Amino acid sequence: MLAADLVALTDQPPFARSAVDGWALRAADTAAASAAAPVVLRAAGAVPMGAAATATVVPGTAVRVPTGGMLPPGADAVVMQEEVEITSETVAVRRSVRAGENVVDRGIDVRAGETLLSRGRRLRPADLGVLAGQGVARVQVTRPPGVAILATGDEVVPPGVRLGPGQVHDMNSAALAGAVRAAGGLPTVLGIVPDERTAVEDALRDATAIHEMVLISGGSSVGERDVVAEAIEALGPPGILVHGVAVRPGKPTVLAAAGGVPVIGLPGNPVSALVIFELFARPVLDRLLGADPRTGPWRTVRARAATAIEGAKGREDYRRVRLEARGTEVWAVALPAGSLVLTSLVRADGIVVLAPGARVAEGDEVEVRLWG
């Protein structure tokens, strides 16, 4: 992620170049040329590759030039070598050549002073090429924000530990760490905290002291959400900004801040946690990164609903779908709505967002936000 605008230092290309292997000439000299009456020019040397053109094109002459070679002074066009007949001293041109033909003008790609890449740009391979073309070997990029990841829940144990009765493995920490990393953050998995106010508060206080963002995914014991909310509130102002969102899956969400550090309480359920991450945590992370919002994570495709899809009542519904090509059309197959079905995220290609109570009929066009 670029930390500052990148302004072009030099024109790109830095000089007028030939686009082909051929002969640089003055277009006006060839105005009368035809297959029946070729114009014969004097061969007046060659432009070496990777060096200044020393030969000059004067009326009635042509200079050999390689692809990418510098257009010699006096020339305004290049004719391809396949199109001419040469002897050791002459070049016969059998058609009239247009001024500018096969010439790549100086600065046609980039002009010095132009903003080439903006601050917050997530650098792509072509961008690296553009930087290299400017001679830039190093750029200042944003430091990835450190994101602490906590989980609570008395039933939750880390992967790698054998389950006792009634226990489940912590899925959220691994999934959220992957999501943070993919979004450009630097995740630190701090592990599982007992479902107890002081333990959660202590863990959050430590986490907010040395990270730029904290994610805590709740367990699901009775009243557990309150433990997390109380612990967050105890960290000091501004505290909880939002407690509960009208979203399925993901209702029990806490959006808060402790001093300048955003703290997000995510649902314990892994599908909900990942949806809420995309919806609320990723934009915060983008902000911390200084990311250009246009490079956001969700690209959309249009598809037809393979079955009717019922939205949740009173809540915006983020329904996972699988995409399927049928002939030239793309169809969206809705996956199970149940938020406990994590495999619905593994199989999902994207998300369809339904307004509260909305219903999509089979065959209707839907917009699918691509996922992951």
Segment 24 to 53, residues that bind a copy of itself, using CB under 8 A: 47-53
Pick 59 or 129: Cβ nearer a copy of itself? 129
Number of residues that bind a copy of itself (CB under 8 A): 95
Binding mask 291-330 for a copy of itself (x = CB under 8 A): --------xxxx----------------------------
User: Minimum distance between the CB of residue 219 and a copy of itself, rounded to whole angstroms?
Assistant: 7
Lookup result for tokens 């609570």: 152
Query: Using CB under 8 A, which of the segments 34-42, 107-115, 307-315, 356-364 binds a copy of itself?
Result: 107-115
Pick 23 or 245: Cβ nearer a copy of itself? 23
What pairs with residue 317 in β-bridges? 248, 354
Task: Out of 62, 75, 110, 261, name the contact with a copy of itself by CB under 8 A.
Answer: 110
Pick 179 or 258: Cβ nearer a copy of itself? 179
Pick 3 or 139: Cβ nearer a copy of itself? 139
What pairs with residue 302 in β-bridges? 367
State how beta strands 6-7 and 115-117 pair. Answer: antiparallel
Task: Out of 11, 83, 109, 230, name the contact with a copy of itself by CB under 8 A.
Answer: 109
Query: Using CB under 8 A, which of the segments 91-99, 119-127, 199-207, 305-313 binds a copy of itself?
Result: 119-127
Q: Two tokens at 214?
A: 């904290």
Does 283 interact with a copy of itself (rule: CB under 8 A)? no
Does 15 interact with a copy of itself (rule: CB under 8 A)? yes
State how beta strands 329-334 and 300-305 pair. Answer: parallel
User: Minimum distance between the CB of residue 61 and a copy of itself, rounded to whole angstroms?
Assistant: 19
**Using CB under 8 A, which residues numbered 72 to 91 contact a copy of itself?**
81
**Using CB under 8 A, which residues numbered 140 to 199 contact a copy of itself?**
153-179, 182, 195
User: Minimum distance between the CB of residue 35 and a copy of itself, rounded to whole angstroms?
Assistant: 21
Task: Out of 134, 208, 253, 272, name the contact with a copy of itself by CB under 8 A.
Answer: 134
Pick 104 or 235: Cβ nearer a copy of itself? 104
Does 346 interact with a copy of itself (rule: CB under 8 A)? yes
Sort residue 54 into left (φ over 0), alpha (ψ -120 to 50) or beta.
Answer: alpha
Pick 245 or 368: Cβ nearer a copy of itself? 368
Pick 35 or 51: Cβ nearer a copy of itself? 51
User: Minimum distance between the CB of residue 167 and a copy of itself, rounded to whole angstroms?
Assistant: 5
Q: How far is CA 41 from CA 62, 72, 83, 104, 301, in A?
A: 6, 15, 14, 23, 57
**Using CB under 8 A, which residues numbered 249 to 268 contact a copy of itself?**
268
Taking the C-alpha atoms of residue 89 and residue 86, their distance in angstroms, rounded to an integer, is 8
Pick 199 or 341: Cβ nearer a copy of itself? 341
Pick 97 or 103: Cβ nearer a copy of itself? 103
- Other C-beta atoms closer than 10 Å to the C-beta of 293 total 9
